[in-house]
Structure 1
């Protein structure tokens, strides 16, 4: 471990990860928590906050303050926090006197509990919470004006597999004291897991779009055949696009509406997500993807009518690979859920090439926490979808709405046709309703799956053989 008083260099974190990988993983100790802290209700745990004197760099006008987060609730694993000031490592010592415990009895004096993570606030005149790093390798961020929603993971291993998921975690963070003129915060972390260890460098730049550049160097203890990079998780419980209904006063409950992709070949794809009755795993095969991520396209408060959760203010999270990622697939996992607190939608990149035991792997990408991805298709977007019972038999009826400036052009509208397929299945009753004054076109159709219980749908608007819209994909299951 990089000790207090040592001169810091990012290469030291890489070397620490390399050395860590040469011996078996040592599990973290969680049984040192004071009695009752591991079972604290969320409202009591969230009431434990650092006092003003416990905030790092408070009053220094550096553009950022860091709040160490207490352990407890589901965040029982200890994390060591260090700052880097004048290139020297300084340990952040646990001091119960720097916390306001609210209704919770403070821990015994003299106990070093370390921390569960930290919260970052940005801004000088009106500081706002911009990011939280807490639990395993979880973190989340927001753009200015947003509410916290989707969750990112630095690394995901074997999700959705019957042999069980392996969950990496951060052992320590080193946070560089920010230069007030830079507008960015640099965070280094030591990652560990049963199968590998790693060094992670994250550069946070908040604003109307909040960017986090992630660079990882991984050292494999064991061979790995299912690794995920650029992982995002979010909630989708109900909405017009999903067949499942709930006895809920709200017409829609979701913080993400779909996964958006820009393939290595330049195709823009949008796949709405759903709350299935059974676990669903989808793979979108690609080579050198140019971008992907979970997005929230519904920004109308009337669609949710939820004055507490404000799902329309949740961020979209766009991943831009830095460098070539080779062959693999964007994975989408949809998990059945009946609660709006479950992150039941998971998206990540899975490389086709396994990671060999004893090997070193580097990967880098840029995250944009945003209202909409900074790189946008020069095409009309599939903004809403509805489905319901068809006119006969097992048919399902769909309506997909596309919106964009091109749909205000009468010549484009007149030439536009819908290219649609169902595999397996047959399409019936295809119709287009143009509304140029609203820059909108609605596509209606029915799908007859025959005797099958699954059909993959593909729809793109075309004019003169060229795409007018992004490609809309959907999986229908009985």
Structure 2
């Protein structure tokens, strides 16, 4: 199995025709030595517990970019020209041959025994507000990644050797050149405290990246691109083969990372301007040069985990009320309608498409921030970030696609969402998609209408019926003199006992109803609160499937 597939587990049901794919546990790989510490890597792989370092403390000299015969000038058009040049050539996956033991076949424990030396962080002690720590190549991460540092218009390649990494007893001293290559990097800065540098962004594994806002732990992931997701022929995983990291200017509030994407079907030039904070914001510029026509392409893809919650149809014996990195899919479509779709862990793979034109935003939202609704002292799901994709400019016709994959425990990512252009992308390009990625406690859109606080699902009064309870709050319902009307519809089955009442506990309202699905295997539900003809709430959507 290719490493980039293994990194994100080659998810069960990812191939619709093959519902028994193998998994690599993403949470089993994580050993939190400190409760609430950030997970390192996109497979939640902990190389080591990161120690925070004050900017001005005494430390050995940091690593420097090493002179290389491959040194190059780097400007605004360099990466696009390189992506176009690469697209005009046959695809060739980068490899490293003839690695000596044990580096040619590292186990998980051996890989964890390769530790970056924190005192060697790029720009350590230079008072820039940003530091970079590379990841070693090895274990699942067997594709070498070039790392370049850009300063004054010149890029210099970093060299992976024992100057940057230490080796534990499972590895031994190793040759001077070890560990031979990089697999990605992480960015540190004073995101939580002015006197401590902590990790808040990771690029590692295929085209995966993660980030957090202030006080958060890693949760949902983003990717550079998704190709053929949940298609019968199997998913293709593009990967970032090279990164160019610009040296920040003094007093800079953001760091700029350029990435070269490659795969069998396409290349791409990416620019990430990353500004950490309460909400960490990334300005993303993506330019694609397909080698072939792309019929099923996902722009701004996100992945996450939903095991169970109060909106779940599948019951568990878990003592925790909810276990998920993300609670629901939120959308603001091109007409300004706000949609909320609680996530589910279905019995069979589910694919939903929300048709639209020029979407204003979509993302995976962790709305519930109360510890008592998770009761997990280790995972702290209430601290997982909401991730929001905000297109910059028109994206045309297409759909937001949501994929929900059945899982039996919480160690697997089973949720994916992305924008799928209706016409695909023609070979050649360039095809440009610019957007912002927000990683924080909330979505960056304000609205006076009511939003769903919680969806609860349980057994109805009659055998085979299901009761739904939806709590909503917001200024338009909190201060309303009269209760709003409920506009509720179902694609199949029969809805009954619809009611709306005030819920003083949340300064909002509660909607309840029962669904009798009958012989239906699937029912699409839609609910919105109205005052006259005016919607005063977001539109609640739910897909019920026969258990």
Which TM bucket (shorter chain)? over 0.9
Alignment of 1:40-189 (within 5 A): 42=108, 45-46=111-112, 48-106=114-172, 107-111=174-178, 113-123=180-190, 125-189=195-259
Verify the 8 A CA contact 1:407 1:436 in the aligned structure 2.
Answer: no
Verify the 8 A CA contact 1:409 1:436 in the aligned structure 2.
Answer: no
Following TM superposition, by how much is the alpha carbon of 1:104 offset from its aligned partner in structure 2, in angstroms?
Answer: 3.2
Following TM superposition, by how much is the alpha carbon of 1:33 offset from its aligned partner in structure 2, in angstroms?
Answer: 5.3
3-state SS, counterpart of residue 127 of structure 1: strand
Compared CA separation, residues 31 and 245, structure 1 to 2 (3 A):
farther
Cα deviations by residue, 1:203-252 (Å, 9 ceiling, x for unpaired)? 10011111011111111111110000111111101111111233333221
Pick the aligned partner of 2:488 from 420, 425, 447. 420
TM-score for the superposition, normalised by structure 1 = 0.95
- Aligned position for 2:515: 447
Cα deviations by residue, 1:11-38 (Å, 9 ceiling, x for unpaired)? 1111111010111110222665554557
Pick the aligned partner of 2:379 from 289, 299, 309. 309
- Aligned position for 2:429: 359
Cα deviations by residue, 1:78-97 (Å, 9 ceiling, x for unpaired)? 10100002221111111123
- Aligned position for 2:22: none
- Aligned position for 1:276: 346
User: How large is the RMSD of aligned CA atoms in angstroms?
Assistant: 1.8
- Aligned position for 1:389: 459
Following TM superposition, by how much is the alpha carbon of 1:358 offset from its aligned partner in structure 2, in angstroms?
Answer: 2.3
Compared CA separation, residues 39 and 339, structure 1 to 2 (3 A):
farther
Compared CA separation, residues 465 and 136, structure 1 to 2 (3 A):
same
Instruction: Return 306-315 or 83-92, whichever deviates more.
Output: 83-92
How many Å separate the matches in 2 of 1:42 and 1:306?
A: 26
TM-score for the superposition, normalised by structure 2 = 0.84
Verify the 8 A CA contact 1:33 1:76 in the aligned structure 2.
Answer: no
Compared CA separation, residues 324 and 9, structure 1 to 2 (3 A):
same
Verify the 8 A CA contact 1:17 1:219 in the aligned structure 2.
Answer: yes
Instruction: Return 424-433 or 295-304, whichever deviates more.
Output: 424-433
Following TM superposition, by how much is the alpha carbon of 1:376 offset from its aligned partner in structure 2, in angstroms?
Answer: 2.7
Compared CA separation, residues 170 and 398, structure 1 to 2 (3 A):
same
Verify the 8 A CA contact 1:51 1:99 in the aligned structure 2.
Answer: yes
3-state SS, counterpart of residue 96 of structure 1: coil
- Aligned position for 1:260: 330
3-state SS, counterpart of residue 216 of structure 2: coil
Pick the aligned partner of 2:438 from 368, 387, 391. 368
Compared CA separation, residues 276 and 474, structure 1 to 2 (3 A):
same
Compared CA separation, residues 390 and 44, structure 1 to 2 (3 A):
farther
The answer as to 2:309 corresponding to 1:242 is no
Following TM superposition, by how much is the alpha carbon of 1:372 offset from its aligned partner in structure 2, in angstroms?
Answer: 0.2
**Gapped regions of structure 2 (runs ≥ 5):** 1-67
Verify the 8 A CA contact 1:4 1:89 in the aligned structure 2.
Answer: no
How many Å separate the matches in 1 of 2:116 and 2:261?
A: 25
The answer as to 2:506 corresponding to 1:438 is yes
- Aligned position for 1:227: 297
Cα deviations by residue, 1:157-213 (Å, 9 ceiling, x for unpaired)? 011111000000011100000113221100011110000111111110011111011
Verify the 8 A CA contact 1:389 1:395 in the aligned structure 2.
Answer: yes
Pick the aligned partner of 1:192 from 219, 238, 262. 262
How many Å separate the matches in 1 of 2:293 and 2:241?
A: 22
